[in-house]
Chain A
Amino acid sequence: MKIPRRFRALILMALPGVLILFFFDYMVMGGLVLAFKNFDYRLGIWSSPWSGIENFRFLIASRSTFFTITRNTLMYYVIFTVTGMILEISLAIAMDQLVFKRIGKVMQSIFVIPVFISFTAVQFIVYAFLSTDMGMINHLFGLSVRWYLEAKYWPVILTIVKLWSGTGYGAVLFMSVLAGIDPGLYEAAQMDGAGKWQQIWHITLPLLKPMVTIMLLLSVGGVLHSDTGLFYQVTRNSGSLYDTTQVLDSYILNAVFHNADFGFTAAASFFQSVVGTMLILLANMAVRRINPDDSLF
C-alpha cells in the first residue's frame, strides 16, 4: 500500500506520541509476563526462566495477606466512590443555586485548591492534626490516642482526607453540566408550581445522570488501583496500620523497594491489571445494554 505524500507529514506528527506510548505504556504491559516467570535481575526480563503458574500459587497460599489487601482495595473504592459522588453532586448543586455569584467564585477556588497539594505535603498536615504529643486533635479534645498505631480509625481518617482533597475538583465537572442546563426548564417547572427540591429531583438530577454514568464507568477501571499517595504517604507507611490501610498499589510499591516476595507481587500485579480491565469492559457492556448512549464505547 502506497501512502499518499500528504499523509506522510501526518504520520510524522503522530510519531512522537506513538513512540512514547509504545515504550512507556505498551512495553510495560508486555512486562506482565513477569507473572509467569521466575525473575532474576541478573538475567533480565527475557532470559529469566518461565515458571508457569507457580507465582499464582503463592498468591493463593498467602490467603490472608492477599485477601486483606484486596478487601481493603475494594472497600476504599466503594467508600470513596459513594461518598465522593454524593458530596460532589451536592456541592455542585449547592454552588449552582448560590445567588451570590462573586463570592461563589472565591469559594470555588478554595474548594478546588486541595487537589493541587500532593499527598507528600498533605501527610505533614495530617500529622499536625494526629501527632500523639503535639497533634491538634489530641490537644483539643484532651485525648492521648496514638493515631498512627491504631488501625481501626484509618478508614474514617483516609475518607476524610480524600474527600477534603478531591470533592471540590470533582464538583467542578458536575457544575459545568449544570451550567449548560436550559433555564427555561426551571422556569416552566416553576410555572407549574414545582418547588426548589422538586426541580432538583425532577430536572437537575436526571440531567446529571449521563455524567455520573461516565464518571462511574471510568472509575471502575481503577477499582484495583488506588491513589497510592494517600495510602503510602498519608499513613506514613506505618506497619501497624496495614491491616486497614494496605492496598494493592501500596503493597506492590513496598515490595519493589524491599525486593520481597517477587513472585507474589508479580502475580498480584497481573491480577490487578487484568481484573481491572475486565471489570471496565463488563461494566461498559452492562451500561450499553441498559442505555447505549451512556456507554463509554
Chain B
Amino acid sequence: MRKKRKITTGEIVLFLILLMLAITTAIPVLFVFTTAFTDESVLASEGYRLLPSALSLDGFRAVLKYGKKLFVSYGVTIFVTVTGTIFGILVMSMYGYVLSRKDFPLRKFLTVFLMIPMLFSGGQLSMYIIFTSLYHMKDNILLLILPQSVQTIYVIILRTYITSSVPGELMDSARIDGAGEYTTFFRIVFPLMKPALASVGFMMATMYWNDWQNALLFMDSDNKKPLQLLLINIQRSIETLLSNRNIPSAALAAMQGRVPQYSATMATVVVVILPVMIAYPFFQKYFIKGLTIGSVKY
C-alpha cells in the first residue's frame, strides 16, 4: 500500500545531478553526430564544436564516394557478426544444456574444462604464433569468428537459465515419452530459452561488431577487412598525412578527395556505431536480465 506523498527537495537534487551526468555522458556521442554534419571549411577554421555554425551533408557524401570499401567492410562485419552470434549461441547453449544434466558423469570434467580458460590464457603472442605458424590461418576469416565463439561466462549464464527457468518436469516428461536428447533440447529447451538467448546474443553480437584486434592481427586482404579495421586505416592515413609535413602542396592537392576529411571521418564513425545504438534499446530488457542471471553465483 503506497500513499501519494510530496516529492522532497533531496529527490529533486538527486534527479538534477543524474540529469547532468546523463547529459555529460551523451555529449561525446552527440558530438560525433554534429561533427559528421559539419561543413568541412567551418571545421578547418573553427575546429570541432558541439554546435557548428554551418551544417552540410558533405561528410556523408564523401563516405558514399569512397564508399566501395565501406560497403565491403560492412558486408564483412555483418557476415562475421551474424554467423558468429548464431554459431556461438548454438554451440554454447548445447554445452550449457549438457552441464545442466545432473546425472551426466562427465559434467564435472566439462565444467572444469570450461572454467580454466577464464582463469588462464596464453596471451596474444602465443595466440598469434599458434594461429599463423601452426594452423596457417592468417587472412582466414574463420579467425574472426571461431576463437571468440565460446565464452565461459555466457555458457554459465545459459546453463543457469536452463536450471532455474526451464521446468525440469517438462524435460522429464519429454524423455518419458521417448524423446531423445536432441529432440528434448531443440524442441523443448531451446525455444524456452529465448530471454537468455536474446541477452547473450546481443552481447555476442556487440563483441563481434566491435572486434578490431583479431582483424588487425590476422586480416590482410582488402575484401576481408571489417568496419573497425577500416576505422583504424582511416586514422592511420590521417596520421601519415600529419607526420609528413614535407609533402609538396601539389601532391597534397592531387590527393584531395582521397584523403578522408574530418567530417567524412566522423560520418564513417556514425555509420559504424549507429546499428548497435539502434539495436540496444530493443534488447535492453533482456540484456539487463541476462546480466542478472550471470551474476548468480556458480
Q: Which residues of A contact B (CB under 8 A)?
A: 6-7, 9-11, 13-14, 16-18, 20-21, 23-32, 34, 39, 41, 44-45, 91, 94-95, 97-100, 103-104, 106-114, 116-121, 123-125, 128-129, 131, 133-136, 138-139, 164, 168, 172-173, 175-177, 196, 210-211, 214, 221, 225, 228-229, 233, 236, 249, 252-253, 255-256, 265-266, 269-270, 272-273, 276-277, 280-281, 297
Name the distance in Å between A173's Cβ and chain B's nearest Cβ: 6
A98 x B14 contact (CB < 8 A): yes
A34 x B126 contact (CB < 8 A): yes
B47 x A28 contact (CB < 8 A): no
Verify if B232 is at the interface (C-beta below 8 Å from A): yes
Residue of A nearest to B149 (CB): A20
A28's partner among B98, B121, B212, B213 (CB-CB below 8 A) is B121
Chain B residues in 8 Å Cβ range of A114: 25, 28-29
Verify if B248 is at the interface (C-beta below 8 Å from A): no
Query: How many angstroms from the CA of A10 to the CA of B103 in the assembled complex?
Result: 11
Chain B residues in 8 Å Cβ range of A91: 21
Chain A residues in 8 Å Cβ range of B106: 7, 10-11, 14
Query: How many angstroms from the CA of A97 to the CA of B8 in the assembled complex?
Result: 12
Query: How many angstroms from the CA of A168 to the CA of B28 in the assembled complex?
Result: 15
Chain B residues in 8 Å Cβ range of A98: 11, 14-15, 18
B117 x A34 contact (CB < 8 A): no
Interface pick from B58-66, B163-171, B250-258, B268-276: B268-276
Given A94-B14, A135-B48, A168-B25, are A28 and B126 also a contact pair (CB < 8 Å)? yes
Name the distance in Å between A228's Cβ and chain B's nearest Cβ: 6
A252's partner among B29, B123, B277 (CB-CB below 8 A) is B123
A14's partner among B22, B49, B110, B127 (CB-CB below 8 A) is B110
Contact with A along B268-298 (1 / 0, CB 8 A): 0100110011001100100010011001010
Query: How many angstroms from the CA of A228 to the CA of B46 in the assembled complex?
Result: 33
Chain A residues in 8 Å Cβ range of B116: 25-26
Query: How many angstroms from the CA of A269 to the CA of B130 in the assembled complex?
Result: 14
Verify if B210 is at the interface (C-beta below 8 Å from A): yes
Q: Which of B65-93 contact A (CB under 8 A)?
A: 91-92
A31 x B48 contact (CB < 8 A): no
A31 x B217 contact (CB < 8 A): no
B29 x A17 contact (CB < 8 A): no
Verify if B57 is at the interface (C-beta below 8 Å from A): no
Given A21-B113, A44-B134, A109-B284, are A29 and B124 also a contact pair (CB < 8 Å)? no
A16, A120, A175, A265: residue with the most chain B Cβ atoms closer than 10 Å: A120
Q: How many A-B residue pairs have CB under 8 A?
A: 264
Chain A residues in 8 Å Cβ range of B92: 17
Chain B residues in 8 Å Cβ range of A136: 31, 47-50
Given A29-B121, A97-B14, A256-B217, are A18 and B110 also a contact pair (CB < 8 Å)? yes
Chain A residues in 8 Å Cβ range of B288: 172, 175-176
Given A134-B48, A164-B25, A177-B295, are A9 and B14 also a contact pair (CB < 8 Å)? no
What are 18 A-B pairs with beta-carbon distances under 8 A?
Answer: A9-B182, A10-B106, A11-B106, A13-B98, A14-B94, A17-B94, A28-B122, A28-B130, A32-B123, A98-B11, A111-B21, A117-B210, A120-B228, A124-B269, A136-B48, A172-B291, A229-B212, A252-B124
Contact with A along B11-31 (1 / 0, CB 8 A): 100110111011001101101
Verify if B160 is at the interface (C-beta below 8 Å from A): no
Residue of A nearest to B284 (CB): A109
Besides A135-B47, A272-B123, 5 new A-B residue pairs in contact (Cβ under 8 A), listed by A number: A29-B121, A97-B11, A111-B21, A256-B125, A266-B125
B94 x A31 contact (CB < 8 A): no
Given A172-B291, A211-B295, A214-B295, are A13 and B185 also a contact pair (CB < 8 Å)? yes
Chain B residues in 8 Å Cβ range of A118: 209-212, 228, 272-273
